[in-house]
Copies of this chain bind each other. A is one copy, B any other.
Amino acid sequence: MQRRSFLKKASLGAVAGSAAVAAPVFAQDAPTLNWRMPTSFPRSLEALYGVGELMCRYIGEATGGKFNIRPFPGGEIVPALQVLDSVQNGTVECGQTVSYYYYGKDPTLCFDAAVPFGLNARQMNAWMFQGDGMKLTREMFKAYNIVNFPMGNTGVQMGGWFRNEIKSVEDLKGLKMRTAGFAGEVLSRMGVVPQQLAGGDVYPALEKGTLDAVEFVGPYDDEKLGFNKVARNYYYPGWWEGGPQISLYVNEKSWEALPKSYQAVIETASRLALVETLSRYDAWNAPALRRLIANGAQLRAFPREVMDASWDAANAVYKEFSDRDPKFKAMYDNYMSFRDSSVPWFRAAEGAYDQYLSAALSRAR
């Protein structure tokens, strides 16, 4: 430290009196930093953990190797679902996670990730960066000493794998399904019995019949876990996850201690991660879905009756939560009014375009 301080003064002295010379980068402006970034994901999730690694690589490169952030798979230095706590406490400087994992602390946190019948991936970006999303989530995370950055989105997830066909709301009754958080709350209103299981325990439970259904992510991630061998009915859409956002949490003190240039690097690199995550899912889900279908998966849409009952159940939960918690209500109102304003535009141009292409390609086959 003393050495760096000396260098700084020496440089300042040398520059003084010459306004024309290119300003040197002072040691204090570009400190060497080594941060740790626990994540909530196993190494095998290349669109989540893999993108975290990529972001760290870019941050290192952009700072000439001086700002090093090392990612860790879930459970390695911090339990997968305690990333928020460890960043909040300053045990680590930052973490990569999904805010709906912390539903138990406060359901309002889910608006930083996904809520039932919420925004799709593009609408989420629009709300975060152009609507009030960044402002409101930053205010919310202040209570956790966290500065949050969107750093990924999975797109709409699948509704999951079901041993038996779901033909009506009746078929959901008593169904033991691996799901949690907000989705679990809403599904339980329709008779589903939500089960919270760690990733590795899901397949055996499904095989043994302890579970009747499981929702995980989408074709690309699901394929690796082999659910299609046990539960062939693959339902869409995952109405509880229209565009789940992945977040970078940075400890507030760590953030404030960063030079402005490193802050800008985090901001831009997290946006690269955001594009990268969604583009990986969008590119990789399509062929994975084809392979799953070739291997016996039955692709099915939830019946309209089930969707309508889910919609009603979700709105009932929203009303309850809003009635009892003004902070939830304020976030909910802002988020949903953005959704309600966006959907008609997306239905017109985007919807018509996508639907026409889909119909034309089916016809051309």
Q: How far is the CA of A285 from the CA of B343 in the complex (A)?
A: 11
Q: Is A194 an interface residue (CB 8 A)?
A: no
Q: With A25-B66, A123-B282 in contact, is A348–B236 under 8 Å at CB?
A: yes
- Which size class do A's interface residues fall under? 35 or more
Copies of this chain held together in the complex: 2
Evaluate contact between B358 and A264: CB separation under 8 angstroms.
no
0/1 string, A215-231, CB within 8 A of B gives 1: 00011000000000000
- Judge if A74 is at the interface, Cβ distance under 8 Å: no
User: Is A204 in the interface zone, CB < 8 Å from B?
Assistant: no
Q: Assuming A22-B27, A27-B22, is B61 touching A345 (CB within 8 A)?
A: no
A95 CB to nearest chain B CB (Å): 20
Of B260, B282, B343, which contacts A361 at CB under 8 A? B343
Chain B residue with the shortest CB-CB distance to A18:
B3
Does A286 contact B341, Cβ atoms closer than 8 Å? yes
Residues of B within 8 A of A23 (CB): 32, 65-66
Please give the distance in Å from A23's CB to the nearest CB on chain B: 7
Q: Which of A121, A269, A287 has the most CB of B within 10 A?
A: A269
- Beyond A125-B282, A128-B279, 18 additional pairs, beta carbon < 8 A: A23-B65, A23-B66, A25-B30, A62-B261, A64-B261, A117-B360, A120-B353, A129-B280, A130-B279, A155-B350, A156-B353, A237-B349, A285-B349, A289-B345, A339-B357, A346-B358, A351-B354, A351-B358
